Amino acid sequence: MKQEDFLKTLKDMMDTEVELTLETKLSDVEEWDSLSLVTFLSYCNARLNRPVSPEEIKDAQTVNDLYKFLEVY
Residues 11-34 pLDDT 10s: 999 999 999 999 999 999 999 999
Contact (Cβ atoms closer than 8 angstroms) between residue 13 and residue 43: yes
Task: Write down the CATH number for the domain with range 3-72.
Answer: 1.10.1200.10
User: Using an 8 Å Cβ cutoff, are 24 and 6 in contact?
Assistant: no
> Average pLDDT, stretch 54-72?
92
pTM: 0.90
Phi, psi for residue 8 in degrees, rounded to 5: -65, -45
| Cβ 51 vs Cβ 45: under 8 Å | yes
Residue 1's pLDDT band (cuts 50, 70, 90): confident
pLDDT for 72 equals 76
pLDDT at 71 > cutoff 90: no
